[in-house]
Structure 1
Amino acid sequence: MADGLPGSVVVIVVVVVVVVVVVVVVVVVVVVVVVVIVVVVVVVVVVVVEVVVVEVVLVVVVVVVAAGAGGWH
């Protein structure tokens, strides 16, 4: 059957296949990049939140200890 196809049809099929492959590769790369960006953002947010929480806890502990030491009765 391939012998019966005109050359232009074969070229069109090859071009379509190449375009589809390129699009799939681009989509996969974009998805991977987006996933990496999301992971990095989540890690940064978690680290920042942990630092803030630790700071807040330290401040609360210091205030409670200072109050408990007889300063604010």
Structure 2
Amino acid sequence: MKKAGLVLLAIGVLITIFNGVNFVTREKVVDIGSLEISADKNHSVNWSPYLGVVLIVLGGGAYLLAGKKS
């Protein structure tokens, strides 16, 4: 339980610091015989920093509760 609490705590800190992730995919636009034209498409995944705070609280609570039981 302590390890799970530490993992949640670390993920919460990262989510609070980084508010989103951007990545690029390549798509085929035209494919006619031997002619292929592709384009890069940008995607972004954003989340609320409140989610990170909630995970920090849950992870810290799980870590502290697991420490008292041992």
The TM-score with structure 1 as length reference comes to: 0.31
Between Structure 1 and Structure 2, whose CA radius of gyration is higher? 1
| TM-score where L is the length of structure 2 | 0.33
Which protein has greater RCO, CA pairs closer than 8 Å, 6+ apart?
A: 2
User: As a proportion of its length, which structure holds more helix?
Assistant: 1
